[in-house]
Amino acid sequence: MAALSGCYMEFHQVHGTNVRIDPTGTQATRVESFANGVCFSKQPLLPGELFLVEIEEKELGWCGHLRVGLTGIDPRSLAVVPEYSLPDLVSLGDSWIFAITRNHNRAPPEEGEEEEGVSSRSKDFFTASHLQIGSTRIPMDKLVGRSRPGRFSHILDDLYKTNALPPTARRSRIGVLYVPRAPGTADMHIVINGEDMGPCSRGIPTHQPLYAVVDVFAATKSVRVVQLEYGFPSLQTLCRQFIQKHIVHRTAIAWLDLPRLLKHVCMYD
């Protein structure tokens, strides 16, 4: 598979009426109610390119959680962004969207095909450097959720790594991508904290650009895009790693005499 572009991932300027996108284009927060939180990736995804978000904030009192998927609809063509991704956006056609759950989104294997992406992990999961989905290799270090530094962060980090927490827990990292199969078609995969949940939709046509869909719905209040690099580390990443290496605590970055955007890059890996 051709090398991915590794471009900076952002949310599209077209989104639901209850969503606010921060100045960096990477944080989406639902500011009212429980619906009208549908967001899109700014650019169509390349084959094998993962659009990954971290759940930053939850809101008690609502039933339902994050929904993700793909759409062949150009967000700019929408006169009104649908109130719900399910069923409203799906009913417009060329959209494949699922509520996030660990056990119920897997498409059945095709005839003669072994089931892939099952929830039991291989023994080398905790030491593997990349997640392999078809011919796509995704660096593992950014895929697994982690707590913010604190008194019990080491315990929480282990819970994220073992997926003992619910898949929609705060700090979980959830992504969507498509993997080409037969000519002109692809399978959609959802990744939860570094675990490939297997194909959840098959036969998706790839003759049209495919945008990621993230519905900041109900109990999920705010999500942030996690940037991935598929090749050598960028200069930005090397700078971030150098700064983080020479501070006692990641929260101390806020007090450094650095440009605001550089602080943002350093605080959110």
Nearest by Cα to 157 from 167, 146, 149, 166: 146
Q: What is the DSSP letter of 215?
A: E
* 231 C-beta neighbours (distance < 10 Å), count: 9
Omega before residue 87 within 30° of 0, cis: yes
Instruction: Express each pLDDT in 4-47 by its tens digit.
Output: 555 789 999 999 999 999 999 999 999 999 999 999 999 999 99
Q: Along the 269 residues of the chain, how does pLDDT read in single tens digits?
A: 444 555 789 999 999 999 999 999 999 999 999 999 999 999 999 999 999 999 999 999 999 999 999 999 999 999 999 999 999 999 999 999 999 987 667 777 776 565 554 444 554 555 677 899 988 888 888 898 888 776 667 778 888 888 888 999 999 999 999 999 989 999 999 999 999 999 999 999 999 999 999 999 999 999 999 988 776 666 666 676 677 677 766 667 777 888 877 776 676 65
- What does the pLDDT read at residue 118? 47
What are the angstrom distances between the C-alpha of 134 and each of 33, 64, 98, 147, 218? Answer: 39, 31, 21, 30, 33
* pTM of the predicted protein model: 0.84
Determine phi and psi for 156, rounding to 5 degrees.
-65, -40
- What does the pLDDT read at residue 257? 82
What are the angstrom distances between the C-alpha of 259 and each of 24, 75, 244, 256, 264? Answer: 13, 32, 15, 9, 9
* 125 C-beta neighbours (distance < 10 Å), count: 15
Q: What is the DSSP letter of 37?
A: -
